[in-house]
Structures are given as structure tokens and as C-alpha cells.
Amino acid sequence: MRTLLSILFLLGSLQHTLAQTYTISGTILNASTRAAAPEAEVLLVNNGSITKADARGNFQIKDLPAGTYTLTAYSIGLGSQTQQVTISDDDVTLRFELKPLEGKLREVNVKGEREKTFGITRLNSVEGTAIYEGKKSEVVILNDIIANKATNNSRQVFAKVAGLNIWESDGAGLQLGIGGRGLSPNRTSNFNTRQNGYDISADALGYPESYYTPPTEALDRIEVVRGAASLQYGTQFGGMINFVMKEGPEDKPFELTSRQTAGSWGFLNTFNSVGGTKGKFHYYGFYQYKRGDGWRENSGFDAHTAFGSVHYKPNSRLELGLNYTYMDYLAQQPGGLTDAAFNQNARQSVRDRNWFKVKWNLLALTMDYRLSERTKINVRNFGLLAQRDALGFMGKVNRPDDPTQPRLLLQDQFNNFGNETRLIHRYDLGKTFSTLLVGARYYRGLTDQQQGDGSIGSDADFRFYSETGAPNASSYDYLSRNAALFAENIFNITSKFSVTPGIRYEWINTNAKGSYRNVMADQAGNIIYDAEVPEERKNSRNVLLLGVGLSYKPTEQMEVYGNFSQNYRAINFNDMRVINPNQFVDQNLKDESGYSADLGFRGNVSGVLNYDASIFYLAYQDRINFQSIPGTTNRIRTNVGDSRNLGLETFVEADLLKLYYGKDHPTSLSAFSNITFVNTRYSSQLADIDGKEVELAPAVIAKVGLSFKRNNFKLAYQYAYTAEQYTDAPNSVLEPTAVVGVIPAYWVMDLSGSYTYKRFTLESGINNLTDNRYFTRRATGYPGPGIIPSDARNYYVTLQFQL
């Protein structure tokens, strides 16, 4: 702790040394009467802060470093006015004269443009109809990231987001697997995953796994909010990830971007987008196709993704939006390896009949309506029609696949819809203002899951081949319903200190109805029992979550923050069903609950220095995991005990040349360090689990890198290290089937660059620069089971044309 405080003190001292502060003051008047504008306020667009003018219309904004600022003044019954000012070596005085509205209400643009970043920044206290005051947040700005965007290389894209453990078992970037603060990366299921603010996972509660990942080439930014996001975004421990799509330009009716990429092992990617603004309409759309053979045998893929959005703004108060997303991909899965096979030849494949297919249709209708300058409402309606098919031999990797036997086929169909409505209102409280957010959510999900015999062939034939042509292993319908009410309020106690309490009420109902086939054989393999077993389970509960956030900002560029939030995770469909009688589910299984807390210190000097250091504590109660049944080889899924994760997340990035030569230096050389330390422990009545480390929680995750920019040339290098981690609660070291065991520590280096000439941009790079052999995952089922090796050294070249 002393070391952390020393680092923070030095960073704070450096910040004050670098940035002499100034004051912007001024007067807000009624243009018609020349008198003070009533209840006038001025918005500092750069950071979203609002300052109230006094009765004479005078205001002051203190402690601002040199730079360019945009300010918008407004008042009751009057319009708004925006001015931009540059502070160099002295205080600045402004004069706003607001005209009567004359029957029209002009919208105050609280969005503005974010300051230039190193590729990472954080969310403002209030953005749109969401509150982030006192919360740990990161925003990845994709335009400032130099990476292999064609393959969604998450190691590069999320390099500056602290504490993320990344599964690198999908070299094409078809699925994203990230977990934070010691939580499993499995299909990002511990985060609430969103696109443009609405859910995109298979089922937000019953099956919160993400089979669709928005293409990085189409993204404007990625917003990450940690555990305190539970109050606004629902019952999860990891937080929220929101993929925000690009929008077409506002200053021209048409813009075309075309990106063509070629890479190792037959990788080809074409990405083409159009966008623009015409009258009251604003639109953006893209189509992406990519294919490749993959580094390992039997790992080819073919993927199509498309997106379209149209926004209509009939007046300054109202904006309507329509979004549609389509994805369809087919991938062959080479399966897992034993430890011995991986060490012998990590590129080999012992499965050639395994396939995976996904179809995704996602629709959203949105409405933003400004009731007044202080009140805004947002309505999001969204729906999902999707299917995923998994086909192959899922027996243990040390057992050969018999080509004369039928493969296992698992089909899931998802049919979901939901609504989330938010209202945000800013009001006066004493001598300051406060911001209130209230919201409601309704969600209904229906999943139809079938399992049975597939074909005996090796091709991608996703049909059932039982005697009746129907699934003969299991058939289930899963229904999930969720209603929620939530509220948060920023109380600005002083101009520098705020308290943000929050509350969320959840009603959760999950149901499973279906049947599975129970087959028993004698030692000679003769069937002695074969019956269909019906099963029906229902679970309904009410959950109340509380939390509070604190924020102290001694200057505009520095903040001390802390928060505490309760968390909750409902049992999902995989915890409610029984398909294989050799793998049991505890009928008394309980939901998981707990809380998370943060205490941190962050700040920045625009374009020169950015830092964030925080301590977190994650308490996880009634954790669900597998427990061995004594005297058998079977396992039961049950609540194995409690766990706690304690950690330190640090991030700092500085432009070395600008620190030495000044902010106006034309060349940038920035260095960053992103290091996370995590300590985890189980507390359990089970002797083989009590005191053990939590699985998939490496003690150290570190990334460091350099970025060079001059004019239109950019170059980036990064080194990533992840410490050793266990894959099960008993901390197994080695197991013959390779399903559980240690994931050894590994490190990887990446090098990427780009050059722009007029309308053309050339990008190229090398991933896994030193050609290391490593793995990040041991799969228990699809796409394994066993060790899933990560890709060897690979290259890519991208040519972009923009019109």
C-alpha cells in the first residue's frame, strides 16, 4: 500500500509540475434585455461538468490546464450558445448572450468531442442516459489503436484495459473470450455484453454467452465498466462491455470505406462500409466477409457479418433509430490435445469431424427524447433470433474418434426480446445541482435446445440421424423472464466531492422443461436399460442490490474514486438441465451472490500523461463449480463454497517526447504499462477445495508497449505476460484427459504499423513475433475437450481506401 501511495503521489506531483492551471470566467446574459439570464448554467463539453451562474449571471471554472475548451451556456426560456476558447498563458473571460427560443427548443450537445487519446480514456460522469460517477471505467478508442483489426485481435485491442484474462483459442476473432478480476473468460459470460447499449448475448440471464462479436473494423469505441455496473446493467460480477458502432459523417451525405486484408494460412478479409447524413436522416452500414484455413489442421472458417443503422431526427428534441445485425459463420474445430501431444506438436489435430455453425439476427428500435434542457428519456427495444449448432465427437481427447459411430449434434435456438427505458433529470439541490437516473427493464428469453445423434460422416451436416429423425438424447425448452427497476443519483456535496447511491430491484424467473434419454449398458456393452426421463424445473426469485460511489476531484484533471456494489448471478440453463446421467446437477443449487468494491486514483494531462491505479475486492458467495462424487468418476455441479479476489490494477501511459519537448511537438513516442496483481482463495467445507486458488485467475497479468506517431506514420509494439493459472477449484496440476490442469505462464509480443497517404492507408504487422508455443484454455466440451493451442507467428497486410 505504501508503494502504491508513493506512486500516486509522484504522479500527482508530476501532473502539477506539468500543468499550470487557469480560470475561465464570464457572464451569461439575456440578449434582448441585457440582464442576467435566469438560472443560467454553462457546460464544459470536454469533461461534461456543469457550473451554475450566480444571480448576476457570473460564473467561474477553475483549475484548468492549458488547452482548447468548448463551453455551452443555456438558461430557462432562452436558447443556448457555444463558444470555443484556447488557454495558453493567462485566464480567459467570456460573454454569452442568449436569445429567446421563439417557439423552438435547441438541444444542448453534451457529447462533444473527446480529447485526443493514446487509445484509452474513461467515461464521463454522465453520458447520454447513464451515470458513471465514481465507477471504474475504460473506453478503448479504436481509431487510435494500431492492431490487427481484421481478426479482432483482443490481445492488442484490450491491451490497455487493466486485469483482463483473454482466451486466445480463436485466431479468426469469431468469438470473444475475456474475463476480469479472476472471473472466467468463457465467451465473456461474466460481463453484460452490449452493442450500442442493448444486449447481444444468447440469453442475458439464462445463457449469457456471446457467440457474436462486433467486428473491430466497424467500432468507434468499446466501453468497459467494472463490477459497480450491476446497479444499472443487471446481475453480473464482471461488469458491462458495450461495443459502440461507428456512425456516418454528419457533414456529408456519403462516405465509403473499403478495407482489404490478407494474412497467414489463407486468411482473407474484406470490409466495406458506407455512411452519411442527408437532411433529417443519418445512416451507417457495413458488410464483412472473412475466411481462412487456420494454423492447425481442421480449423478452417467462413464468416459473413452485416450491420445497418438509420436514425431519423424530425426535430431537435426527438431522435428515432433502427439497427439490424446479421452474422452467419461456419468453422471446423480441430479439437483439444493432451499435454504430451501439445508438447510434441501443438499444430496437430486429432479430430476431423467437429464443426460449429452460428446464425445471428439482432434488431433494435431506439428513441431519444429531450423533455427539457434538464430531462431526457431513452427507450431501447431489442430482439434476437439466432441459432448455434455444434457437431462432433466430444469424447475425451485420449480416446480415438470412431468414424463408424454417429457424431453428437447439439442445436440451440434463441428467441429473445426486451425493453429498457431510462430517464435522466438534472435538478437544483441547495447551491449545487444533482443528477437523477431512473430506469426499468423487461426481458423475455426462450431457448429451444436439442441433442442427439448426428451423421457418421465428416462434413458439416447439421441434421439429426436417429431412427425418427428427431433428437434422441435430450430436448428442452428454457424460458427466462426478468423485470427490473433501478435508480442512481449524483449528489454534488461540493464542487469537488460527490456521492452517488444506487439501488436495483430484480424479479428473475427461469424454467426448464423437457426430457433426456437414460441409457445403461452392462460390461459387455449390451443395453440393459433405456428410458426417456421427463424433467421440469422452475425457479423464481426477487433480488435487491444496493451500492454507492464516491468521487473527489481536487482539479479537473485528477480524481480519487471509490465504490461498493452488491452483485448477483442467477443459475443458468446449464445449471438446470440433466443430459448425461454421469454428470449430475444438485437439485438444491442456489444462485451466486456477493459484492465488489473499488478504491482508486486516476488523472490525465491531455495528450501527455494518463494514469489509473486502483485496489479491488470481489466477494463471491455460493460459487457454483464441479465436485467429485467419492468412489466414482462422476461429478456433480453444486455450490462448492465462497471465494474472494483481491487485487491491484495499475495503468500509466506517457508521451516521452511531449514530456521533454512540450505538447506541441509534432512527433509522439508514448510508453504504457498495464500491470494487475490478483490474490484469490476459496473458503469451503470441501477439503480438496478449501484454501485453494480460484481457477482461471492468474496472479499477474502485465502488458507494456511503445507507440510512435509522426504525421501519417504509426508504429506500435507490445509485450504481454500472463502468469500460471489453474483450471479447476481443486487446483489439479496434470490430468490424463487434459480437461483440467495447469495453464503455464506465457508471454507474447506483437508489432503493428500503418501509413496514410491521401485516401489510402496501408497497415501491416506480425502477431506472436517470436513464434511462441502456448495455450490459454483447457476446454471441457466444445471446441475440445483438452488443450486448445493458440496461434503461432502470423502476418497480415491491410489496404484501406476512403472516399
- Decide if 132 is inside a domain: no
Q: Which of 60, 79, 98 is the last residue of a domain?
A: 98
Q: What is the pLDDT of residue 556?
A: 78
Helices (H), 355-497: none
Strand partners, 29: 36, 97
Of 98, 125, 140, the residue at which a domain comes to its end is 98
Q: How far apart are CA 759 and CA 259, in angstroms?
A: 12
> Would you say residue 152 lies in a domain?
no
| Per-residue pLDDT at 524 | 62
Cα distance between the two ends of the chain: 53
Residue 412: inside a domain: yes
The pLDDT assigned to 183 comes to: 92
pLDDT tens digit sequence for 51-69: 888 888 899 998 888 778 8
Residue 363 predicted with pLDDT over 60: yes
Q: Which of 138, 125, 141 is nearest to 191 (CA)?
A: 138
Assigned domain for 294 exists: yes
Domain at 36, CATH number: 2.60.40.10
Q: Is residue 793 part of a domain?
A: yes
pLDDT of residue 366: 97
pLDDT tens figures, 564-614? 999 998 887 777 665 544 457 777 788 899 999 999 999 988 778 999 999
Rg (CA), the chain: 27
- Mean pLDDT within 348-362: 95
User: Phi, psi (5° rounding) for residue 592?
Assistant: -95, 145
Residue 778's nearest CA partner among 336, 391, 396, 349 is 336
d(CA 357, CA 462) in angstroms, rounded, equals: 9
Question: Residue 690 sits in a domain of what CATH number?
Answer: 2.40.170.20
pLDDT in tens, 2-31: 544 454 444 554 444 445 788 899 999 988
- Tens-place pLDDT, residues 518-527: 777 666 667 7
* 138 part of a folded domain: no
For residue 233, the surrounding DSSP H or E stretch is helix 230-233
pLDDT at 233 over 60: yes
Report how far apart, in Å, the C-alpha atoms of 286 and of each of 219, 258, 320, 455 are. 11, 10, 20, 36
Q: Which domain holds residue 45?
A: 2-98
pLDDT at 777 over 70: yes
Quick one: pLDDT at residue 605?
Answer: 80
Number of domains in the chain: 2
Residues whose CB falls within 8 Å of the CB of residue 344, separated by 6 or more in sequence, listed in order: none
What pLDDT was estimated at residue 4? 47
The answer to whether the pTM exceeds 0.85 is yes
Answer for the pair 423, 438: CB distance below 8 angstroms, yes or no. yes
Question: Of 64, 98, 132, at which residue does a domain stop?
Answer: 98
Q: Is the dihedral of CA 50, 56, 62, 68 positive or negative?
A: positive
Residue 109: which pLDDT band, with cuts at 50, 70 and 90? very low
Query: Would 266 be classed as within a structural domain?
Result: yes
Average pLDDT over the chain reads 88
Grid cell 438560472 is found at: 39
Per-residue pLDDT of 494-541, as tens digits, reads 888 999 999 999 999 988 898 887 777 666 667 777 778 888 888 889
Does residue 476 lie within any of the structural domains?
yes
What is the DSSP secondary-structure string of 589-632? ---EEEEEEEEEEEEEETTTEEEEEEEEEEEEEEEEEEEEPTTS
